[in-house]
Amino acid sequence: MVLNKLSESAFPIGVIGSGSFGTVMANLLAQNNKVILYTRDDKVLAEINKYHRHLKRDIHANVRASNQLNEIGEQCKLIFPSIPSATFRDMMKNLSPFLNPDHILIHTTKGLDVGNSKEINKIDKSRIKTMSEVIAEESVVIRIGCLAGPNLASEIADGQPAATVIASKFDEVIQEGRKALRSRMFQVYSSHDITGAELSGSLKNTIAIASGMLSGLGFGENAKAYLITKGWGEMIRIGTTLGSDMKAFMGLAGIGDLIATCSSRLSRNFTVGYGIAKGKSLEEVLAGMSEVAEGVNTVRITHFLARNHKIRTPIIDILYQILFQHLDVEKGLNYLMKYPFSIDVDFL
């Protein structure tokens, strides 16, 4: 399907969410475009528009903040939602009246939607949705994409080289996203498997929590490589069971993002695991974080999915017990290190 393409530089580009990644996205996009950055925080609004500063960083002169969602919908045809999964559906409901089929939405959210279910026993598997499915359900937008890959916000903000994947069923979504984002230090690749890219980006956060726990307990790089490899296998088994192509897990959105998130203390999910291994409760770790670690909720969801689809996921099972059933971290990880993985590659 091909719809009308955007006219060259006809509209500013919208970014929804002024957290660390939304702000980085706005600055990246501002190298080539005028940008409207939506924020609900009046202090952030004033900080950006008056001083061009936010999160202790300079904000590009092409970025203007707004606290009006209607302005994003009415003035921007290409929009990058960059907010946590827990509030994504409500945001889409509020944005939807200002959208039409000519819009392009490329989200950056690495999480899953479970409606209003707060308890594992009350999750309805038919209600577990990716963010692209939420966009389609809550709006008339047709051209939908997602951005995924090893994109630690602070490194991109520092101008370090990075690459990403824009995944969509529509070539024009990939083309418009690449044109808006690509720069000398930020490469953009393409994929038509949007489900695989979304699941890759969500599932790797669970393994990153386990990697943080390993580091917090003083385990070395051999153990971390072991964990990442076996965790990658669990990601692939879940993803292919849910309908994605295995290829999505072989590239930047899969193994690339997994390596970055499991290896860096800049990762929020790694930080969660590290803090728990150092003796803090999950509640204490989350209370000390300024932004959402999507992996905590994703562990809950993927444990449920694995159980219902009878997928073998020992790492996620142990993580679930540590996070939500008070299993001792060291006991849990020692169990994993002794788990009888008899076949090396068991997902092909």
What φ, ψ does residue 290 adopt, rounded to 5°? -85, -15
Q: Decide: residue 168, CB within 10 A, 0-12 exposed, 13-18 middle, 19+ buried.
A: buried
Using an 8 Å Cβ cutoff, are 14 and 76 in contact? yes
Q: Name beta bridge partners: 152.
A: none
CATH classification of the domain holding 277: 1.10.1040.10
What φ, ψ does residue 112 adopt, rounded to 5°? -125, 155
- The pLDDT tens digits for 173-229 are 999 999 999 999 999 999 999 999 999 999 999 999 999 999 999 999 999 999 999
Mean pLDDT, range 113-124, rounded to an integer: 65
Mean pLDDT, range 67-89, rounded to an integer: 97
Same domain, 152 and 269: no
Q: In the prediction, which pLDDT does 246 show?
A: 93
Catalytic residue from among 169, 204, 224, 310: 204
The question of whether 110 is a catalytic residue gets the answer: no
Mean pLDDT, range 273-294, rounded to an integer: 95
- Residue 184 is encoded by which pair of tokens? 């000398």
Mean pLDDT, range 110-119, rounded to an integer: 77
Q: In the prediction, which pLDDT does 130 show?
A: 96
Q: Are strands 186-191 and 162-168 parallel, antiparallel or unpaired?
A: parallel
Range of the domain at 244: 196-337
Mean pLDDT, range 39-46, rounded to an integer: 96
Q: At what angle do helices 194-216 and 131-138 cross, to 10 degrees?
A: 140
Using an 8 Å Cβ cutoff, are 203 and 235 in contact? yes
Using an 8 Å Cβ cutoff, are 131 and 105 in contact? no
Report the chain's mean pLDDT, rounded to a whole number: 92
CA trace torsion 307, 311, 313, 318 (10° rounding): 10
Using an 8 Å Cβ cutoff, are 108 and 21 in contact? yes
Q: How distant is the alpha carbon of residue 30 from its chain centre?
A: 21
How sure is the predictor about 122, in pLDDT bands with cuts at 50, 70 and 90?
A: low
Domain total of the chain: 2
Same domain, 234 and 136: no
Q: Which amino acid, 137? A: E
Q: What percent of the chain has pLDDT over 70?
A: 92
Q: What percent of the chain has pLDDT over 90?
A: 87
Q: In the prediction, which pLDDT does 214 show?
A: 95
Mean pLDDT, range 130-148, rounded to an integer: 98
- The pLDDT tens digits for 304-318 are 999 999 999 999 999
Decide if pLDDT at 6 tops 50: no
How sure is the predictor about 113, in pLDDT bands with cuts at 50, 70 and 90?
A: very high
Same domain, 326 and 220: yes
Same domain, 188 and 200: no
User: Which one is predicted more confidently, 348 or 274?
Assistant: 274
Q: Decide which of 192, 211, 242 is a domain's last residue.
A: 192
Same domain, 230 and 297: yes
CATH classification of the domain holding 91: 3.40.50.720
Mean pLDDT, range 35-57, rounded to an integer: 97
Q: How many residues does this entry show for the chain?
A: 348
- Residue 127 is encoded by which pair of tokens? 């209600």
How sure is the predictor about 1, in pLDDT bands with cuts at 50, 70 and 90?
A: very low
Give the Cα separation of 37 and 69 in Å (integer).
10
Mean pLDDT, range 49-72, rounded to an integer: 97
Decide if pLDDT at 348 tops 80: no
Q: Are strands 57-58 and 186-191 parallel, antiparallel or unpaired?
A: unpaired
Using an 8 Å Cβ cutoff, are 217 and 274 in contact? no
At residue 125's C-alpha, the angle toward residues 307 and 311, to 5°, is 25
How sure is the predictor about 120, in pLDDT bands with cuts at 50, 70 and 90?
A: low
Kindly list the distances between the CA atom of residue 239 and the CA atoms of 66, 107, 111, 189, 335, in Å, as whole numbers in the listed order.
Answer: 37, 19, 14, 20, 25
